[in-house]
A = this chain, B = another copy of it.
Amino acid sequence: MKLKIKKLGIKTGGHLVALLHEKNLQELDIVPGDRIEIKKGKKKYVAIVDSTNQETTIKKNEIGLFTELINGELKEKLTVEIERAKKPQSINAIKEKLDGKELTNEETKEIIKDLIENRLTEIETTYFIAGCYKNGMTLNESKYLTEAIVNGSKKLEFKGEKVVDKHCIGGVPSNRTTMVVVPIIATAGLLIPKTSTRSITSVAGTADTMEVLAPIKHTKEQIKAIVKKTNGCMVWGGTLDLASADDMLIKFERALSLDPQGILLASILAKKASVGAKYVLIDIPIGPQAKVKTKKEAKELKNKFIRLGKKLDIKVKVMFSDGSEPIGNGIGPALEARDVLLVLQNNGPKDLRKKSLKMAGMIMQMAGIKFAKLKAYKILRSGKAYEKMKEIIKAQGGNEHITPERIKLGQWTTKIKAKKTGRVIAINNKILTRIGKRTGAPNEKGAGIYLHKKKNQIVEKGQPLYTIYAEKEEKKDMAEQLAKENSGYTIK
């Protein structure tokens, strides 16, 4: 059936929906809620169908496209070929996985293909995640999944080059090592095309923080040019369609805050494989409010990462780090960006400096650089890393003359003070995150928290534990109120 496209100008927030006239639905023998295939040239798109009989909205033989379906090929007034979509084969494999069977390579590929092509309903995809969550995944299943995710979407390729990458398992506020490590690594001559995420539940993600210094949305071609010029980049992965199946799965995991380990492993290594990384360092922070709570858990995860890496021909090293308190002093995009620049100027928080140097050294050593740790230190110490950072900022279209002092912080501030004298014996990451989110971060870049005291330091009653920054007075008040109920600090 041939139908003419009409733009509806309606956004669903994600679902691909097309509006057809009831008469066309009858001819296709489908009902609203069913799926159709929209063909234009060689490309096929699968959409969920809504229906109408109001000629004012769309006429018979027109197809109304919701905004998410409009793209370079599907444009107003073009004619497209429509047919009803078949029920995807991969449903059988999803059922088997839910029932505890091990998926084959073929089955995994089919599931990911149907997912990417929008052939699976949300219900079907949820059962896939539930199956992986309840039954776990074998190493082979994780391998198949990683490869299916990588091959199912676009890649960034740097032929013949030594590409390295890093990843942190997460759960620790202001852990902005990436922005120190990338300039060091890039100076050392390795390629590190780093794609990062925005914050989902934290006060700031690396992408949010880098955005204080330079634009982070770039096309694949732009990224290649930036990396060619500087050896590194720090960009947002959100619109690059690298490992896009992984991005599609995250929504389903997040609904119940599930973290099926087999998918976690595949998800992380797929992102790395998509940028062609051959050497990957994984940081597992351990702490009561980090994602990984115990050394035992961390060791098991480490083992799996290394074994999966071998299967995928990626050299993986895993380090454990202290996840019991924030890294650095600033929490929030601008405050964290300032810490990063200070460290690159051989100033700034010692813990951020130390951890970043360690990571840079490990990555360089993996990639075959001799005396790697010393070299990393020299690159930072000499100011070359800072110069490299300015180069990257410039290449990404930012202002390379930025200095820590010029970074704009929220104008509304208030200090949270110690209620007694003693030693800081614990800092609750979750509570600080909650307070930090209340300040307006990460959307309001200047908002956040600056810690004056870290673990094991002595504080006197009435001394400030941290300063709250906000761009709006009411948000400062809201964060302050929360902090006064519970500062997140334990002093003894």
**Chain A residues packing against B (C-beta within 8 Å):** 8-15, 19, 31-34, 49-54, 57, 66, 91, 94-95, 98, 121-124, 126-127, 130-131, 133-134, 251-252, 255-258
18 new A-B pairs (CB below 8 Å) besides A9-B54, A14-B32, A126-B130? A9-B53, A10-B52, A10-B57, A11-B32, A12-B50, A13-B49, A91-B256, A95-B256, A98-B130, A122-B123, A122-B126, A123-B123, A123-B251, A123-B255, A124-B255, A126-B127, A127-B256, A130-B130
A13 to B15, CA, bound (A): 15
A14 to B122, CA, bound (A): 14
Contact A122 B122 (CB under 8 A): yes
Contact A33 B19 (CB under 8 A): no
Contact A66 B53 (CB under 8 A): no
Q: For residue A46, give the distance in angstroms from its CB to the closest CB of chain B.
A: 16
A interface, over-half SS: mixed
A123 to B250, CA, bound (A): 12
Q: For residue A157, give the distance in angstroms from its CB to the closest CB of chain B.
A: 33
A33 to B16, CA, bound (A): 12
Number of copies: 2
Contacts of A34 in B (CB 8 A): 13
A49 to B13, CA, bound (A): 8
Nearest residue (CB) in B for A255 is B123
Q: A10-B51, A51-B10 are in contact. Are A134 and B130 (CB under 8 A)?
A: yes
A33 to B15, CA, bound (A): 8
A259 to B53, CA, bound (A): 37
A5 to B32, CA, bound (A): 22
Q: For residue A236, give the distance in angstroms from its CB to the closest CB of chain B.
A: 18
Contact B12 A32 (CB under 8 A): yes
Determine which of B11, B94, B256 lies in contact with A256 in the assembled complex, contact meaning CB atoms within 8 Å.
B94
Determine which of B13, B31, B134 lies in contact with A50 in the assembled complex, contact meaning CB atoms within 8 Å.
B13
Contact B127 A50 (CB under 8 A): no
Contacts of A98 in B (CB 8 A): 130, 133-134, 256, 258
Contacts of A32 in B (CB 8 A): 11-14
Q: A13-B33, A14-B33, A49-B13 are in contact. Are A57 and B127 (CB under 8 A)?
A: no
Contacts of A95 in B (CB 8 A): 256-258
A123 to B251, CA, bound (A): 9
A127 to B133, CA, bound (A): 11
- Across the A-B interface, the 3 shortest Cβ-Cβ residue pairs: A13-B33, A13-B32, A130-B130
Contact A8 B127 (CB under 8 A): no
Contacts of A10 in B (CB 8 A): 19, 50-52, 54, 57
Q: A98-B130, A130-B98, A256-B94 are in contact. Are A52 and B9 (CB under 8 A)?
A: yes
Q: For residue A122, give the distance in angstroms from its CB to the closest CB of chain B.
A: 5
Contact B57 A8 (CB under 8 A): yes
